Chain A
Amino acid sequence: MAPTKLNKNQIILFMPYILFLGLGTFYYNRFAEYIFFYHEKSSLFLVTFQYLLEHLRQPGDFLEYLAELQVSLYFYPILGALMVTVGICLMVFLLQRIGTYLSGRLPAVLPFFIGAVLFVMQIDYLYSPVNNLGIIIQVFLFWLTLRFLGRKGRWIPVAAFFLLYFLFGAYALIFGLMYSVLLWQKKQWLKLTVMWGLTFTFFLIGAEFLFYQKVETLLIHPFSYEKMGRQLIPFVFTLALIVSYPVVVQLTIARKMSCFAIRRVKLSQFAPWVILLAMVIPCWQGIDKKNSHYFYTEKLFYEQKYEDLISYNMQFPSNNRLTVFLTNIALAETGRLSDMLFHFNQSSDGKTLFPEWQTITEVLKRGAHYYYCIGMINEAQRWAYEYMVMKGNTPELLKLLIRTELINGNYETAAKYISVLENTLFYRDEASYFRGLLYNDSAVNSDAELGNKRKRDVKKDFFVITENPLIAVDKITEGDVMNKQALEYKLSWLMLNKDMKGVVQLLPAMEKAGYTRLPHNVEEVVVTYKLLKMGDMPELTKLKIDPKTEQGFQQFYMTFQQNKHNMKQAQRALFHDFAYTYWYYVFLGSLNAKATQDV
């Protein structure tokens, strides 16, 4: 059947939506997937009535509850991409409907422009989903009011606006201001006065008697500078556009613009296409490769796909300190830290090896995993616990808390954390597995990861000095010669410090720990120490130097000597064969890239 004229118009009308939806979902899923990973790993939604009640304690908490529910669905990034795009499409659609209702014409420019700005802002991974959700809900409520409520019915939002404020916090102001504009235009002063009067009274009573929050918090929650990814100007600008939208669409100039046509073709109908086209540039520029790389590494890390993580970072080397930090843990967990340390851009101050204690949540979040790796279960738990206290539960740190309690045999406490995990949407299987380990020491011992960590836990007590993580490594290796992970970290730190004597002195300890061959980087240290006659060599029974390594050093050293007056030339000459060696780091270290950036 041939399409009718009406059908053609509808196709033209909806084509930008379809395109926006399709391309938007593709874009987020393909290029900005890390956003969903970051948000999903930063909170933990619980499907309990108690959790809902906890989100009804102050104005705006309910909106946060809804946003957390949305974020929990980001477990599947494609769902996240779809939700973000559908949400924005819906808002654009509603703004168009509102515009049509108020002006009698279909506005195209402003709704798509607002949608485009929100779409682009979401590309920043720090931009919280609560922002778009808050806006969409308020626009939706405004549209409902226009569409379904008559003159008398419009007393409902007037009387219930204070409830909207309670549920959605500062975001309710979007509806409040849009509706106020409408009431003001219609000179319905009584409704206007009652609406704000009731809300103001509710605010005063709430602030005085109900809500244990600062007054500033009650006014702006859940709106915050951090949650908008520090994009204050575009965000406030967008909010201003939305709030003034009912007025703007009725302006004569807006009407004229929407009617402006060349040869009966309205130019405004091309506006969505132009806006969509214009979005390509900020969307392309907005792809955050550095963070994308980091979050992919973190994803592999949480999935314990250490081999994949190492391969990925070898294929795509990173200067990001946190990326290298996680890679080092993956190397240590697979027993290759002192084999492959110099394959990655290490920070000579040790910050890619050890986390420094700071009550900054992002540091706490990652630091726990380092201590877990080297077998300091108590300390790993402390870092994870501090994060939980400051920021609430997150999936990975809650799992770490469960693991540490299981390892320590604190089953009652582990059971409490497992109960929390059981009430999530997507982590129930893991909770069920953990529950199976409760009160069963042999089951914990049999678990490959937990059993190994239990064996590796600190054998001799000492006080942790977080300002100097090396002391902890020293203490562990003194108390337990079999803790290879701690030993590898110690060796790595000595290598980074170019302390060859220190490394060589650890060779007997390595033999005791069960090493049957020298890890590559350590062997390079030993060869250098030996061939440059820097000191006495300890007597070794199992660990032997490979003659090929000695030949390699001689080749390296000869080339280096030949080019040492021109370091850049030396670098060029040695890079191909020796870039990942200790020798390159020691002799050409100043030219090596350093990991200096954080996420």
Chain B
Amino acid sequence: MNQRYYWIYFFPLLLFISCTSKPDGEVLKSEQPLKIYPDYSEIELPSNIAPMNFVVEDNAEAYYLILSGEKGGLLEVSSRNGEFCFSKKKWAKLLAQNSGAKINYQIYIQKQGEWYQYPVFSNNVSTQKVDPFLYYRLLYPGYESWTELSIVQRSLESFQEKTVIENNVVGQNCVNCHAFNAQNPDNFMFHMRGNLGGTYFVENGNLKKVNLKTKEMENGTVYPRWHPSGKYVAYASNKVVQQFHAMDKKKIEVSDLNSSLLLYDIEKNELLQVPVDPKKQFMDTYPEWSPDGQFLYFCRAAQIGKAYFYEDIKYDLWRVSFDPESRQFGSAERIFDANAIDKSVSFPRISPDGKLLVFTLHNYGCFPIWHKEADLFALNLDDHSCNQLELNSEFTESYHSWSSNGKWLVFSSKRGDGLTARPYISYVNDNGKASKPFVLPQENPLFYKDFIKTYNIPEFAQSDVSFSPGTIRRAADKKAIQAAWSSK
């Protein structure tokens, strides 16, 4: 190649390299900590998490970051716009090298020609890995209408996102309520409403469409929870009413007018009432199995009358014993009296070791995602002591679920803007103490600033599951298998 062509090719590269700013000479120290977005300072990281890309929220001429591990490893990144995006390979290597140790972020900023050094912040790299996949529903945090709804799978070890189900494939029917059995995609189900409606179960890699609404039932089935055996799914069957507030403080009120618990026997294709309320004195909802399958936990409020005040509806936490062999239930007992503290409980979720039950506590009702005051609380199932988790914010926290090793909790929080929920992940130690949570990292650190959809029901999973559009269409077009009602 002619020598002048070398210049044409390499001169701009040289120019670029020479323009990459790095602190040299005198550096001034700033005592003020820098504001970064998302806030990834002083958090506990799973050792297999994707790069925690972030942006410095301070206008400057140049930015420089030295990321060093206690056990070794160094990443140096410069930036012109404050965005620090890490190489996936180098990031993974750094985390692997520092499992059980800290990684430290030292940021320098150049302003008016002077370099400033800011206080270091750190992340603890946990020895505990998080499940490699996160599933959630993406939708507009709207009121009644929908057009695009999708259940999405996101790799937590990279930024790869994949559609599992999208409602457009079946003519904009509403897709909702996805559920795994203990983070295992072999036991997976979701609901679809509309003309192609039904409950879809994964069976040997295929989708089976079942109609779980029988003539004996007043309402459809929602809030599914798999029995650990994979033989049963517990549901709530609710009559829901949606109302709209005129004032800004709250937007929507979603209340149940009545509700009860159902059990679906997958092998026998039978639905039966969970016999905990023969006199229909209560509204029972949000079922949850204990990891050994011996107890069904649920939320219970007194049945409301025709005239009711929505703020008076308060749910307590109850449980009932269950014998999976005989499908028999024992008598119900109250586990947590939320009424006594003038609060209401929803979304009980038990850790895989059966020690902790995390629920959402809010002022009233059973739909906390629109309650700003909703927070996550942990109930120790051995001594029934309860404490507010330290991961909460002044905005809504709800829709939580555990990782398969019981060390990580993912939940939806509206702390970003008060309207759209984002998935936050927190480490929960053996004493039930939760670490400062971090928002699901994105390749573009500013992603959440512009994204106007909400993350609904985030759930960890141990492996990959997705269906081709053709598979979904064929399953949807099939006639649903009608479940039978069983009175026993």
Interfacial residues of chain B within 410-465, with CB under 8 A of chain A in the complex: 416-420, 449-452
Pick from B142, B144, B469 the residue with the most CB of A within 10 Å: B469
B244→A359 contact, CB < 8 A: no
- A207 vs B142: C-alpha distance in the bound complex, in angstroms? 30
B306 an interface residue at 8 Å Cβ cutoff? no
Q: Tell me if B243 and A463 are in contact (CB < 8 A).
A: yes
With a CB–CB cut-off of 8 A, which chain B residues contact A368? none
Known A-B contacts A212-B166, A390-B147; the reply to A410 vs B418 at CB < 8 A is: yes
Per-residue contact bits, chain A 395-438, to B (CB 8 Å; 1 contact, 0 not): 00000000000001110110111011000000000000000000
Whether B247 pairs with A458 at a CB distance below 8 angstroms is yes
CB pair A378 B244 closer than 8 Å: yes
B473 contacts A215, C-beta separation under 8 Å = yes
Q: Hey, which chain A residues are within 8 Å of B243, CB to CB?
A: 463-464
A466 CA to B146 CA, complexed, in Å:
19
For the complex, what is the distance from the CA of A543 to the CA of B244, rounded to whole Å?
Answer: 37
A390 to chain B: closest CB distance in Å? Answer: 5
Kindly provide the distance from the CB of A288 to the nearest chain B CB, expressed in whole angstroms. Answer: 29
Interface residues of A in 103-158 (CB under 8 A from B): none
Q: Does A300 contact B (CB under 8 A)?
A: no
Chain B: minimal CB distance from A17 (Å): 42
B53 to chain A, nearest CB (A): 17
Are A379 and B147 CB-contacts (below 8 A) given A209-B470, A410-B419?
no
Are B168's CB and A212's CB within 8 A?
A: yes
Residues of B within 8 A of A210 (CB): 469
Q: Is the interface of A mostly helix, strand, loop or mixed?
A: helix
A58 (CB) vs chain B CBs: closest residue = B168
* Interface size class, chain B: 35 or more
Chain A residue numbers with a CB within 8 Å of B251 are 378, 382
Whether A211 and B247, one on each chain, are in contact in the complex, defined by CB atoms closer than 8 angstroms, is: no
> Which residues of the other chain, A, contact B452 by a CB distance below 8 angstroms?
416-417, 420
- In chain A, what residue has the closest Cβ to B474? A208
A409–B420 alpha-carbon span in the complex (Å): 16
A348 is an interface residue with CB less than 8 A from chain B? no
Counting residue pairs across A and B whose Cβ atoms lie within 8 Å, the total is 109
B285-299 interface mask toward A, CB cutoff 8 Å, 1 = contact, 0 = none? 000000000000000
Of residues B146, B248, B449, B452, which shows the largest number of chain A Cβ atoms within 10 Å of its Cβ? B248
- How far is the CB of A203 from the nearest CB of chain B, in Å? 12
Q: How far apart are the CA atoms of A211 and B449 in the complex, in Å?
A: 28
Smallest CB–CB gap between B9 and chain A, Å? 26
Taken together as a complex, chains A and B put the C-alpha atoms of A335 and B474 apart, in Å, by 59
Determine the distance from Cα of A505 to Cα of B151 in the docked complex, in whole angstroms: 56
Within 8 Å of chain A (Cβ to Cβ): is B1?
no
B170 within 8 A of A: yes
CB-based contact A214/B473 at 8 Å: yes
Known contacts A207-B469, A410-B418, A412-B417; A464/B144 CB under 8 A = no
Who on chain B is nearest to A357 by CB? B144
Once the chains bind, are A214 and B169 in contact (CB under 8 Å)?
yes
A550 on the interface (CB 8 Å rule)? Answer: no
Alpha-carbon separation in the docked complex, A464 to B143 (Å): 13
Shortest B344–chain A CB gap in Å is 19
Nearest A-chain residue to B170, judged by Cβ = A214
A472 interface residue (CB < 8 Å to B): yes
What residues on A are CB-neighbors of B147 within 8 Å? 389-390
Chain B interface helix/strand/loop/mixed: loop
Q: How far is the CB of B153 from chain A (nearest CB, A)?
A: 14
Instruction: Give the Cβ gap from A465 to chain B, nearest Cβ, in Å.
Output: 9
Residues of A within 8 A of B166 (CB): 212
Across the interface, A386 reaches (CB within 8 A) one of B145, B246, B249, B418, namely B145
Say yes or no for B171: interface residue by CB 8 A criterion: yes
| Residue A457, interface by CB 8 Å | yes
Residues from chain A with Cβ under 8 Å of B144 in the complex: 359, 386
B253: Cβ under 8 A from any A Cβ: yes
Pick from B169, B416, B473: contact of A412, CB under 8 Å: B416
A336 within 8 Å of B (CB atoms):
no
Indicate whether B159 reaches chain A with its CB closer than 8 angstroms.
Answer: no
Indicate with 1 or 0, residue by residue over A528-547, a CB within 8 angstroms of chain B CB atoms.
00000000000000000000
Bound form: Cα–Cα A351–B256 in Å: 33
Any B CB within 8 A of the CB of A475: yes
Within 8 Å CB of B470, what residues of A?
Answer: 207-209
Chain B residues with CB under 8 Å of A412's CB are 416-419
Do A413 and B417 have beta carbons less than 8 Å apart? yes
A91 within 8 A of B: no
Complex formed: what's the CA distance from A217 to B469 in Å?
A: 13
Contact (A419, B246) CB under 8 Å given A207-B469, A215-B473, A385-B143: no
By a CB distance below 8 angstroms, the chain A residues around B244 are 378-379, 382, 463-464, 466
A385 touching B142 by the CB < 8 A rule? Answer: yes
Beyond contacts A417-B452, A457-B247, A461-B246: 11 other A-B pairs, Cβ-Cβ < 8 A, are A209-B468, A209-B469, A212-B166, A215-B473, A379-B244, A385-B143, A389-B140, A390-B147, A413-B419, A461-B250, A476-B246
| A-B residue pairs in contact (CB < 8 Å), sample of 5 | A212-B166, A214-B169, A214-B473, A420-B452, A460-B247
Task: Give the 10 A-B CB pairs with smallest separation, nearest first.
Answer: A412-B417, A208-B470, A212-B166, A461-B247, A212-B169, A463-B243, A408-B248, A389-B142, A464-B244, A458-B246
